[in-house]
Chain A
């Protein structure tokens, strides 16, 4: 069970919003890089987010670049899951590979600051502020197994190969 506050974003939050290409020189200095997470979408995000909080977004979250640094800095900010109406393909795979759950549901009724409770096993998200409950979209089995190990690198450390 995950519990935290919602940080609401709109549609089409790109990997450049999440971590701009102009900070590419900080990609080997993750602590410095993470200070700029989501800067071009909400410059106050980094100072307000607390461990366990959620990103709640509209459609096509994470479109653009293959930079794994995008989900990485979100994870480093303490975000425990991303909820979105839909998510771009590479970002989805990257987030799961880092052990960061990305969950699909209709986020329209969730507001910034709402308290949310996510039941990963049961596939449900409850908005404790407005009392609504939603069913989460299914994640492919192979990705669930990777997520269960905490990401692709721990998965490979354990199995040494893909076990489908």
Chain B
């Protein structure tokens, strides 16, 4: 019997013939935490009695969620992480480098890797064909010490996407549509495995967006085949040697197959306060928006900034709408500067934040006021998510975000493209 991508990767790293439902102990190739989960991870590591890190060079601490620090307490947490990294030979990715998941895909993750991060959006690296999943601080602390952990091998849902996207529709709309269809717990404990001719042609950037949000319908991983698109991306990052082809077996067994015709998809958004509360953008047309945020591990990549810049070039954001932009990494910021996207967005009235998580989780850099509405390209719109339980967050694509910034109200990007 053939294997799914999830079974294939976990079989290899556990040296067993892993099948869905099995509990295995698998080697972990890369482990990380960030500045809001890292301090507890470090404390749990010390508490565990484990003395040494299994793979210091494959252990990374990221300062990205509150970078640069907005408060004394968080600065103290950052110092703790830097000290631990220095003492243990751990890699640290400090202020200005960017969001952990973006650095992981640019510089660290390889197809076939098992990756554990103390952040739920660790699933992003599934876009490269890595079995990457989020866990809490205790689990991550133990992985740091032992270099392995236990997994329940997930059953897989095959998501087969065919057809060409309409203009103004992208991977973000596809994943929002899928989450709306499955529900926020529709794939709990499962692997989502994407395939079909749309996927074969889809840019790596859109694959990352889709993998990133797999967790929003409960999935443990969102996996893409490691194919020529992945090879091209790794070559562009100077990592040709990290590539290997990994495809699911033709006779792999899936718990469920979901077929999506990409040509039928419309620009889609998630309404407050759950990610599965989705609707076509056109149905919300006219909703006033005070803040638009383009960035995050979901949609802070060059392709995302490019579409926003193309919509806003030579124009001005609506005077009652603030546009905030955070490139996901330093590498993206530099590329966007060179391409002129940053200048375009600033001239249109946008505010550029340093590479990092920005206002996504409500800590700083764009906390919402009472009753305010934000349209964000991020992945979560829970009540209170952007710092205020009395504010409202809509999630949508960078194209929808740019069109909305232009008119100050929710706007279907097909009207401006």
- Chain A positions within 8 Å of B, measured between CB atoms, are 12, 14, 16-17, 20-22, 24-29, 40, 59-60, 63-69, 72, 86, 88-90, 93-94, 97-98, 140-142, 151-153, 156-157, 160-162, 164
| Pairs across A and B, CB under 8 Å, 7 listed | A27-B77, A40-B384, A66-B118, A97-B138, A141-B23, A142-B150, A156-B48
Q: Check A22–B387 contact: CB distance below 8 A.
A: yes
Partner of A153, one of B47, B70, B77, B152: B47
In addition to A21-B361, A21-B363, A28-B80, 16 A-B residue pairs with Cβ atoms within 8 Å of each other are A21-B384, A22-B362, A22-B387, A24-B66, A29-B73, A67-B37, A90-B135, A94-B135, A98-B138, A141-B23, A152-B139, A152-B142, A156-B49, A160-B49, A162-B149, A164-B150
Q: Which residue of A lies closest to B35 (CB)?
A: A24
Q: Which residue of B lies closest to A95 (CB)?
A: B136
B27 CB within 8 Å of chain A:
no
Smallest distance from the beta carbon of B54 to chain A beta carbons, Å? 11
Q: Check A16–B384 contact: CB distance below 8 A.
A: yes
Mask for B351-395, Cβ within 8 A of A = 1, else 0? Answer: 000000000011100010000000000001011110111000000
Which of B102-110, B182-190, B223-231 makes up part of the contact surface? Answer: B182-190
Q: Check A162–B146 contact: CB distance below 8 A.
A: yes
Report how far A160 CA is from B51 CA in the complex, Å.
10
- Chain B positions within 8 Å of A, measured between CB atoms, are 23, 25, 36-37, 39-40, 44, 47-50, 65-66, 70-71, 73-74, 76-77, 80, 117-120, 122, 134-139, 141-142, 145-146, 148-150, 152, 184-185, 188-189, 218, 220, 274, 361-363, 367, 380, 382-385, 387-389
Q: Check B48–A153 contact: CB distance below 8 A.
A: yes
Once A64-B120, A86-B188, A89-B218 are accepted as A-B contacts, the answer to whether A151 and B361 lie under 8 Å apart by CB is: no
| A-side contacts of B65, CB under 8 Å | 24
Once A88-B185, A90-B136 are accepted as A-B contacts, the answer to whether A16 and B382 lie under 8 Å apart by CB is: yes
| B-side contacts of A94, CB under 8 Å | 135-136, 138-139
| A-side contacts of B388, CB under 8 Å | 22
| B-side contacts of A63, CB under 8 Å | 184-185, 218
Once A27-B40, A88-B218 are accepted as A-B contacts, the answer to whether A20 and B384 lie under 8 Å apart by CB is: yes
Smallest distance from the beta carbon of B6 to chain A beta carbons, Å? 14
Partner of A20, one of B44, B134, B189, B362: B362
| A-side contacts of B44, CB under 8 Å | 153
Smallest distance from the beta carbon of A72 to chain B beta carbons, Å? 8
| B-side contacts of A160, CB under 8 Å | 49-50
Q: Check A86–B25 contact: CB distance below 8 A.
A: no
Which residue of A17, A60, A65, A142 has the most chain B CB atoms within 10 A of its CB atom? A65
Once A64-B382, A66-B134 are accepted as A-B contacts, the answer to whether A93 and B40 lie under 8 Å apart by CB is: no
Q: Check B40–A68 contact: CB distance below 8 A.
A: yes
Which residue of B50, B117, B138, B220 has the most chain A CB atoms within 10 A of its CB atom? B138
Q: Which residue of A lies closest to B183 (CB)?
A: A60
Report how far A27 CA is from B73 CA in the complex, Å.
9
Report how far A26 CA is from B383 CA in the complex, Å.
19
Q: Check B367–A60 contact: CB distance below 8 A.
A: no
Q: Check A17–B382 contact: CB distance below 8 A.
A: yes
Q: Check A162–B25 contact: CB distance below 8 A.
A: yes
Smallest distance from the beta carbon of A10 to chain B beta carbons, Å? 12
Which residue of B117, B185, B189, B361 has the most chain A CB atoms within 10 A of its CB atom? B185
| B-side contacts of A24, CB under 8 Å | 36, 65-66, 74, 361, 363
Q: Check A66–B384 contact: CB distance below 8 A.
A: no
Q: Check A25–B188 contact: CB distance below 8 A.
A: no
Report how far A86 CA is from B218 CA in the complex, Å.
11
Once A24-B36, A88-B185, A153-B44 are accepted as A-B contacts, the answer to whether A68 and B119 lie under 8 Å apart by CB is: no
Report how far A164 CA is from B26 CA in the complex, Å.
12
**Nearest 7 CB-CB pairs, A to B?**
A68-B136, A94-B136, A21-B361, A60-B185, A25-B73, A97-B138, A16-B382
| B-side contacts of A64, CB under 8 Å | 120, 380, 382
Q: Check B185–A162 contact: CB distance below 8 A.
A: no
Once A16-B384, A17-B384, A63-B185 are accepted as A-B contacts, the answer to whether A156 and B134 lie under 8 Å apart by CB is: no
Partner of A157, one of B37, B48, B73: B48
Smallest distance from the beta carbon of A89 to chain B beta carbons, Å? 6
Smallest distance from the beta carbon of B80 to chain A beta carbons, Å? 8
Q: Check A161–B146 contact: CB distance below 8 A.
A: yes
| B-side contacts of A72, CB under 8 Å | 40
Report how far A162 CA is from B151 CA in the complex, Å.
12
Smallest distance from the beta carbon of B50 to chain A beta carbons, Å? 7
Q: Check A67–B220 contact: CB distance below 8 A.
A: no
Report how far A99 CA is from B380 CA in the complex, Å.
28
| A-side contacts of B139, CB under 8 Å | 93-94, 97, 152
Q: Which residue of A lies closest to B388 (CB)?
A: A22
Report how far A141 CA is from B150 CA in the complex, Å.
12
